[in-house]
Chain A
Amino acid sequence: MFTKTTKPVILVLGILSITCKNTKKEQEDLNQKLEHIQAIETSIDSTIKSVNEKAKELEGVILELDSI
């Protein structure tokens, strides 16, 4: 059915399609990983910001304590 010339072409096409599929999956995985990292960063930022606000407030209040 296939001539001598077509066989290598089919082989190349097969390899290429597998490579493309893997590359796409790899890219999706990496993008997911990046989103996860971003979420962690946001979580750290908001947590520390919240603690800092409370601590800053308290720094002012401690001065008040000294005058009581």
Chain B
Amino acid sequence: MKTTTTFTFLFMVVLCFAAPNNANGKSFGKMKMTTHIKRKIILNPRPLPVQVRKRNQNDGHMSDDRIDNGTNRDEASWMEGTITPNQGKINKDDMSLQEFGQFRLQQVTEKLKNSEYILEYDKEILLIGRKALIKAKNRVRNAKQNGENPEIILNKEKQLATIEQKLNDLELAIVRAKEVIRKNAETLKKMSNDKKGHSVIRL
């Protein structure tokens, strides 16, 4: 009888140690979230697919008629969290840690896909810029041949060189971003696979 009492006491002690996982009255399967992930979780809406800018074949000028359906960069500002999401906040307390993990995985996967759309949009800007640069260079060359003021020509050439550098910078940034997205997509794909190797989330 004495031994039984001792073991009952030990049993109670073990239960006390196990209690922190069970403090919110949930079962052991529903684990309490740690503080570091307790932040506002907002499910961002997926923006409309970025419409490819209509290239004005005639003059290469930037104008509103190049943007189909009024889609513009502002619609991509969901990335910066400036757009109030339609879906509203997700109540994290209603989820177990596993469910929350799945939710976050899906959320970031969606973000990754949207990033690809945004990069396509940026590539269009780059293309427009390249074509406009070629035309501007031609205009400067013609002006030079027509004997225009050399000082003005020199200034214009300097301007062109600066803009070309900006174009190159953007191109490099796009290439790097694509690589980052590719690597992250691979990581997410690995993470989304269950123990049997089946993909839980389609990427």
Contact = CB atoms under 8 A, between A and B. Distances in A.
Interface string A16-41: 11011001101100110111111011
A59 B125 contact: yes
B83 interface: no
A55 B97 CA distance: 38
A58 B174 CA distance: 13
Does more than half of chain B's interface fall in helix, strand or loop, or is it mixed? Answer: helix
Contact of B136 (A36, A52, A54, A65): A65
Interface in B144-159: 156, 159
B8 A9 contact: yes
B7 A6 contact: yes
B166 A57 contact: yes
B14 interface: yes
Contacts of B166: 54, 57-58, 61
B28 A45 contact: no
B169 interface: yes
Interface string B58-89: 00111000000000010010011000000000
Contact of B184 (A44, A62, A64): A44
Contacts of B18: 16, 20
Contacts of A65: 129, 132-133, 135-136, 160, 163
Given A23-B31, A54-B169, A68 B160 contact: yes
B118 to A, nearest CB: 6
A62 B136 CA distance: 10
Contacts of A49: 79-80
B52 interface: no
Given A26-B31, A52-B118, A68-B139, 11 more contacts: A6-B3, A13-B7, A19-B28, A31-B97, A37-B101, A44-B108, A52-B73, A61-B163, A62-B62, A62-B132, A68-B136
Interface of A: 2-3, 5-6, 9-10, 12-13, 16-17, 19-20, 23-24, 26-27, 30-31, 33-38, 40-41, 43-45, 47-52, 54-59, 61-66, 68
